[in-house]
Structure formats: C-alpha cells, structure tokens
Amino acid sequence: MNNDQPPVRTIEGTPSWRSRALGALVRLALREPLASDADIALLRRRYEALDARYFQPERSVVREAVDCNGVPAEWISVPQTQPGRVIFYLHGGSFAFRFPNAPAAFAARLCQRLGACALIPDYRLAPEHPFPAAPDDCLTAYRWALANGCAARDVVFLGDSAGGNLALVTLSRTRRASEPLPACAVLLSPAVDCTFESRSLVDNEGLDPMLSLADLRVLRGRYLPSQEQYRDPDASPLFADFTGFPPLFLQAGSSELLRDEAVRTAQRAHAAGVDVELELWPATPHNFQMVAFLPEAALAIDQIVRFVVAHSGWQATAKASLAYQT
C-alpha cells in the first residue's frame, strides 16, 4: 500500500438480497424530486411517520430527555451500560430533518456491544435555524457533557451523513479552543463538502436510491443561504485543519453519492498525520448501518466496535456477528 494514501478496505462480495430489496423500496418511496419550494414541515411529518413505523429501540432501552445548556438531547442507556462510556452521537438528516427513533435504535445497538450510553443532541434545524445554529448546538452539548462528569478520553464521537459533518466540525472547534478531544470518532457517509466538488456526486447519480444531487442542492440552500459559506471549514469540514484530530473511522457505500466525501476526508486526515481507516461497502444504501435486518449492517457494526475498542480502551460486551450472508 502507498504510504501516502490512507488505509482503505474495500469490502468484497455482492450486496445481500435484503440490501438490494431495501434499495428498491427506498427508490420507490423517494422517487419524487425535492422542489426548490418544498414544504419542509410536511416532509418532516412524513419522514417521522416512517421512522415511527420502521425503527423502534428494544424495550430494554432507556431513553431520558436532558437539557444540555439549552440544547435538548436524549440519553440512551441499555442493561449493558457501564459507567463513564459515552457515545456522543450527531444524527444525520441534511441539516433539516430529525428522526426520533432510528438514531436511538442504532445507538442502542452500539451501546449494547460496547457497554456504553449515548448522548444524542437535538440540534436546531434549517431552514428555521440556518448555519451556524447546528454546529453551535453540537459544541454546546459536548461542552455540557464534559462539564457534567464525562471524561473526554471515555467519549467517542459518532456521526452519520450531516451528523458526520457536525462531528468533524465539533472536533475542529474543540481543537481550536484547546479543549479536550474525544478518544476517537466514527463517521458514516459524512457530508463534508458543501461546494459539491466530489466526483461521486456525478458518477453515482442514479445509482444512489436515497440521495440525488438536485435534492442536495435544495437542502444546501436551506442550511447555507450564502454561497460564500460553502467553503467555510465550519460548514464544509473537509477544508478544516485536521492536525491533532483523534483517530477516525469512516464507512461509505461504493455506489452512494457521498462516497468520495468519505474518501477525501480520509485523504485529508492521513495527510495531516491522523490515524484513519476507511471502508467502502459494495452498493449499500446510504446509512445502511442503521437498518438492523441487513447482514451488512451487522458486519459494519462489528468493524465499528473493533475500531472503538482499539482506540478507547473499552472492552466489547457482546459477541461479533458470525458471517456475511448474501
């Protein structure tokens, strides 16, 4: 392997039939393009109804509302939770949507494997609250966690899609403020470049069942009203200084629009001397890790757990998945 390039693991094999079926269903459900004047409130109600129907944490999961210095959030704990271990999870949703159940269910599965609890900030959303409201809220919530007994060395950042963006921005702002950084960070298909210069946005158009470039442009305009903001490192953390970041672990699907956002993030981190790993999964849907019935999701979680254990000092509390079944 070229030492000038970050470690990239391309997962071999073909997508499972469940993954292919999910992609087809998502394509049918989201086949209508997002209009420039789309009613975001209506879309939120629609997405939250789907979230309530298909994503529910197990009954043993405890969900507790908490106020993080004015930022509402949710604590997730499970019977396996051990004191001190915290997953600081920043959810995705194109900076405009929230899903009450899917992030909680996904966080709970990781907490079960890692003996941790999770803190999920409910950061403000665009267009009602454009940039920099979301990153401001995420930093406030992280500072609250540190001020209320969470040791940075026992915190792991987790972010998916837009949440991956916010996780990197929170790392960058924390480092610039010379405040304690977490043990490591896990980024799932992070959306890190609001200039939309990644080649996969073009190459994978039509292959990604969930995202389209046209929709991303509409939602970008709701989050960043001015084009001058597109290269701001706090809006597009790909352009941030990665020096001093903790170890990073990235996963993305080979055929999704945001594939190269993950690749370019890994390259930037590696060039800055950051310990970074990247996995590319074959033709999996965006955020496939959150879909519990996918065999790819179980194996992806295995790799997340492996990375976190290696860089946090935690011990896994549940066994890994046995096999990849197509």
Count CB-CB contacts under 10 A for residue 146.
17
Q: Which of 16, 19, 161, 189 is catalytic?
A: 161
Rounded CA-CA distance 251/285 in Å is 12
- For position 29, what pLDDT does the model report? 75
Count CB-CB contacts under 10 A for residue 92.
25
CB-based burial label for 32 (10 Å; 0-12, 13-18, 19+): exposed
Q: Which of 286, 296, 311, 312 is catalytic?
A: 286
Count CB-CB contacts under 10 A for residue 202.
11
Q: What is the mean pLDDT of residues 220-239?
A: 97
Query: Residue 73 sits in a domain of what CATH number?
Result: 3.40.50.1820
Instruction: Give catalytic status of residue 161 as yes or no.
Output: yes
Partners of 320 in beta bridges: none
Domain annotation covers residue 23? yes
- For position 32, what pLDDT does the model report? 74
- For position 326, what pLDDT does the model report? 41
Domain annotation covers residue 318? no
Give the pairing of strands 117-121 and 71-77. antiparallel
Rounded CA-CA distance 153/9 in Å is 27
CB-based burial label for 30 (10 Å; 0-12, 13-18, 19+): middle
Q: What is the mean pLDDT of residues 109-133?
A: 97
- For position 210, what pLDDT does the model report? 87
With bands split at pLDDT 50, 70 and 90, how would you rate the model's confidence at 24? confident
Domain annotation covers residue 17? yes
Domain annotation covers residue 39? no
Rounded CA-CA distance 219/101 in Å is 22
With bands split at pLDDT 50, 70 and 90, how would you rate the model's confidence at 27? confident
209 or 158, higher pLDDT: 158
With bands split at pLDDT 50, 70 and 90, how would you rate the model's confidence at 323? very low
- For position 31, what pLDDT does the model report? 62
Domain total in the chain: 1
The fraction of the chain above a pLDDT of 70, given in percent, is 96
Residue range of the domain that includes 164? 8-32+54-312
Q: What is the mean pLDDT of residues 128-133?
A: 98
Q: What's the token pair of residue 156?
A: 């792991």
- Per residue in 140-157, pLDDT tens? 999 999 999 999 999 999
Q: What is the mean pLDDT of residues 14-28?
A: 88
Cis peptide upstream of residue 7 (ω within 30 degrees of 0) = no
Instruction: Give catalytic status of residue 286 as yes or no.
Output: yes
Domain annotation covers residue 22? yes
Identify the weakest region by mean pLDDT among 19-28, 42-51, 230-239, 268-277.
19-28
- Per residue in 240-265, pLDDT tens? 999 999 999 999 999 999 999 999 99
Q: Which of 256, 261, 279, 296 is catalytic?
A: 256
Domain annotation covers residue 66? yes
Instruction: Give catalytic status of residue 256 as yes or no.
Output: yes
Domain annotation covers residue 37? no
213 phi-psi bin (left φ>0, alpha ψ -120 to 50, beta other): alpha
Main-chain dihedrals φ then ψ at residue 21, nearest 5 degrees: -65, -40
- For position 41, what pLDDT does the model report? 93
